[in-house]
Amino acid sequence: MDISSIKVGEHVLVKCSGKKTQAYYVAQINYVAQIIENNYVPDGSLGVKYFKRIFESNKFVNDSDEIYEIDKDDIIMILPKPKHMKGSDRVAGYFFRRDFT
């Protein structure tokens, strides 16, 4: 995937591979290979915030504000802009018009 087309704030589908399994997660881009707090982030790396899927629906919520560094090669696709679901912190989230099954 071409990292130049990825922008901060976009949502992406990320593949995480273990020894025997692969898992896919929805994440939001927080930074793209730049200098953050006087520390250089290597080219090709991205900072993402993962979202928690609600049951087996297309709704995802922000479960944690922790930011993880991933490699651009872990990104499967850029997702279309989601619909923001308003509500309290517990129920607010994002709805994607895409089948994740």
pLDDT in tens, 82-98: 877 766 655 567 767 66
CB 95 within 8 A of CB 24: no
In CATH, what number does 3-95 get?
2.30.30
- Provide the residue ranges of all domains of the chain, joining segments of one domain with +: 3-95
- Tens of pLDDT along 31-58? 876 555 555 555 667 889 988 887 877 7
Is 73 strand, coil or helix?
helix
10, pLDDT greater than 80:
yes
- Model confidence, pTM: 0.74
Cα–Cα distance list, 54 to 17, 47, 87, 90 (Å): 22, 23, 15, 11
d(CA 57, CA 23): 16
In whole angstroms, what is the distance from residue 61 CA to residue 44 CA? 27
Note the residue count of the chain. Answer: 101
The tokens of 84 are what?
């923001």
